[in-house]
Structure 1
Amino acid sequence: MAANATEFPYSLTITLPLPSSHLASSALRTLEVDTELSPFVRRDLELVAPSASTPAPEAGKMEIEGEEKSVLKTTYRATTNRMLRVAVNGFMESLGVVLGVMQELDVDVLEMDGVKEDE
Structure 2
Amino acid sequence: MAAIEATNPEFPYTLTISLPLPTNRLASCALRALEVDAELSPFVRRTFVLEAPAVESPSEPQEKKQKHDPEETKTVLKTTYYATTNRMLRVSVNGFMESLGTVLGVMTELDVDVLKSEMEG
When normalised by structure 2's length, the TM-score is 0.76
One-letter code aligned to 1:23: L
Instruction: Give the Cα–Cα distance (whole angstroms) in 1 for the partners of residues 50 and 39 of structure 2.
Output: 19
Shift of 1:3: 2.7
Instruction: Give the Cα–Cα distance (whole angstroms) in 2 for the partners of residues 73 and 95 of structure 1.
Output: 12
**Alignment match of 1:28 (pick from 26, 31, 39):** 31
Say what the alpha-carbon RMSD is for the aligned residues.
Answer: 2.2
Matched, 1:99 2:100: no
Shift of 1:65: 8.2
**Alignment match of 1:81 (pick from 59, 74, 86):** 86
One-letter code aligned to 2:43: F
Matched, 1:18 2:21: yes
Q: Which runs of 5+ in 1 are unaligned?
A: 53-63
Could you say what secondary structure the match of 1:75 adopts? strand
Deviations 1:30-79 (CA, angstroms, capped at 9, x unpaired): 00000101000000011000028xxxxxxxxxxx9836100000000000
Answer 1 or 2: which has greater helix percent: 2
Shift of 1:107: 3.3
Across the two proteins, how many residue pairs are aligned to each other?
102
Shift in CA distance, 88/69, structure 1 to aligned 2, threshold 3 Å? same
Shift of 1:83: 0.1
When normalised by structure 1's length, the TM-score is 0.78
Shift of 1:106: 1.5
Shift in CA distance, 65/6, structure 1 to aligned 2, threshold 3 Å? farther
Could you say what secondary structure the match of 1:95 adopts? helix
Percentage of identical aligned residues: 70
Deviations 1:70-114 (CA, angstroms, capped at 9, x unpaired): 0000000000000000000000000000000000012350666xx
